[in-house]
Amino acid sequence: MGRSILIVDDEELIRQGIRARIDYLGFKFDSIREADDGTTALSLLEQAPADVVITDIRMNDMDGIELIGKVKPLYPHIQFIILSGYAEFAYAEQAINLGVNAYLLKPISNEELKKTMNNVLERIELEEHNHRTVKLGEQILVENQKHIFEKNLNALLYHPNPLKGEGKVLFNTVNEQFPLEKRKFMTILMNIDGDSYEGNKFGYQDIKLIRFTIKNILSDFPSQSDKVVISNLSNTNQLFAILSNECSTTLRAEAEQVFSALQGVLWNRMQISISIGISSVTDKLSLDSTKEAQEAFQQRLIHGNGSMYFYDDIKLLSGTQLPTSELNMLSQYIERKDIGNIQVILNAIFSDECMQQYNVNYIRIVWVRIIGILLKSAHSSFEKEPQKAEQLVMDLDDLVGISSLAELREYLWTLVLDCLETDTHMDTNAKNKIKLATKYITNNYNKDIAINDLAERFMMSPNYFSSIFKKETGQTTINYIKELRINKAREYLAQSSKSVVDIAKEVGYEDSQYFFKVFKKSTGQTPLQYRKSYSKL
């Protein structure tokens, strides 16, 4: 390990002599610096602390004792050797009080200098050894605490009743480190898919490293809910995560965002695929929630690896056939950037005939699958622009703002084009048309504006119009209209006494409940809460 030393004396000959002796006696330092007074020495130490400081006591601006008094609180590890003539021997007591263990009288013999330097360097080695031992002990203690926590949380997840006997003890123990009381939970089972190891830079022997990586990534993701991730001690290929929140309504959306993002990061950076099973929202962690996560995870046998499966969706989609083959084809087309077939598949998945058989739950589930496909299949685009992947996950929230299948198809089509970085040619005429379109929307935002009608008005195909609109404005047509409506609604709420129902109609929402939902999603407040908060300003 490299060492450094600073020699402080107002006589250059003495400094040079000490430097020569240190070299002659065989002491090797990576850095030997000199200072002719205490002020300079202090400045040099602030730039780069030394391991050893040899200082004279008597100097013009700041004596050695004063220098040590200023340096010790800042750099307690520095070892000081004081040089002194017989006349200054009274300073020794002060030096000892400052923790200086080496006091050399001038003139210094080689033997005394060698003995003192050896003692000082041994003291440094001993202190560093003790420091390493303490740090290692602290790490072992932390690792043991983590292991005990994982063991207790695993036991709780496999316990039939967390409110009685051993279950209650486990509940109280886990609650000391992770909030369980008066909370709602989702149990998430994550499985590292076997095909992640085939032809990849990782092998099964790296499973511990992969689990460690997953834990770190999840810990870094921001979320409104508390979260914890642990290894599944019953299966080395799996991990458990717990999402916890006082409000149950945010958990589903958070699960979709956080774990879609996790899947995207793992695939884009490491080509690791994970399948995820997520329980329903529950008010206690127990074997029941774990079984739900496991049952949801087993849906991969039907629909394939690399996806996220919710237990609630099993019940909601009872008797419903997900378009698994179409989604697989969509993944292939996205990888090949086959724009024509991507459009055909999206139209087939969300065709009017198909939607007559299903409901909004079906749409949300398929929506999440498509986001997952984009995160995995368009990873080359996200490597260049990582923020694009983050935005894609956040786009899961935009489902609430879509009011028709035509809008849904247009939105997803624009999303795919954006992710694939397709070079849609934009001539000046097309740009001008989009400017006219934004002006038309601004003047008619409160009317029923359909994408097909807009495209026809400006003599463009719906898909071409949608892609050019997104490139020119940075928003989909749907979000552009929604933002105009919400901003106008905020004006009405702040500056008028109109009722919420009337305001909803004024800005283009016939269904006031739907307006309520969209407004809260956009602003984080209900219309009445917004009006009340604004009135206090």
Q: 423 pLDDT exceeds 60?
A: no
| Percent of the chain surpassing pLDDT 70 | 85
The single-letter DSSP state of residue 96 is H
Highest mean pLDDT of the ranges 9-13, 356-360, 370-374, 378-382? 9-13
Under the banding of pLDDT at 50, 70 and 90, the label for residue 302 is: confident
The single-letter DSSP state of residue 108 is P
Give the whole-angstrom CA distance, residue 279 versus residue 276. 10
Residue with tokens 């004024």: 506
Give the whole-angstrom CA distance, residue 65 versus residue 47. 21
pLDDT tens column, 319-360 = 566 777 888 888 888 877 777 777 788 888 877 776 665 566
Better pLDDT: 31 or 466: 31
Please state the rounded mean pLDDT for residues 432-438.
Answer: 82
Highest mean pLDDT of the ranges 185-189, 260-264, 281-285, 312-316? 185-189
pLDDT of residue 72: 87
Map out the domains of the chain as residue ranges: 4-130, 424-535
The angle subtended at Cα 273 by Cα 272 and Cα 279, nearest 5°, is 135
Lowest-pLDDT range, 280-289, 419-428, 437-446?
419-428
Shortest CA distance to 511 belongs to which of 480, 484, 485? Answer: 485
Lowest-pLDDT range, 94-103, 114-123, 216-225?
94-103
> Is the CATH number of domain 424-535 1.10.10.60?
yes
Lowest-pLDDT range, 144-158, 263-277, 462-476?
462-476
Same fold, 4-130 and 424-535: no
Burial of 528 from C-beta contacts in 10 A (0-12 / 13-18 / 19+): exposed
| Percent of the chain surpassing pLDDT 90 | 14
For the sheet with 184-192, list strands across it. 226-231, 238-245, 184-192, 274-278, 308-310
pTM: 0.54
pLDDT of residue 392: 62
> Would you call 224 helix, strand, or coil by DSSP?
coil
pLDDT tens column, 203-232 = 777 888 888 889 988 888 888 888 999 999
Better pLDDT: 448 or 185: 185
Please state the rounded mean pLDDT for residues 477-489.
Answer: 89
Q: 424 pLDDT exceeds 50?
A: no
Cβ atoms of 187 and 242 within 8 Å: the answer is yes
Residue 448 CB partners (closer than 8 Å, separation 6+)? 508
Per CATH, the number for 4-130 is 3.40.50.2300
Under the banding of pLDDT at 50, 70 and 90, the label for residue 425 is: very low
pLDDT tens column, 267-297 = 878 888 899 999 999 988 889 999 999 998 9
pLDDT tens column, 395-413 = 555 555 566 677 777 777 7
Gyration radius from the chain CA atoms: 34
- Exposure b/e, 174-188, CB count within 10 A at least 16 = b: beeebebeebbbbbb
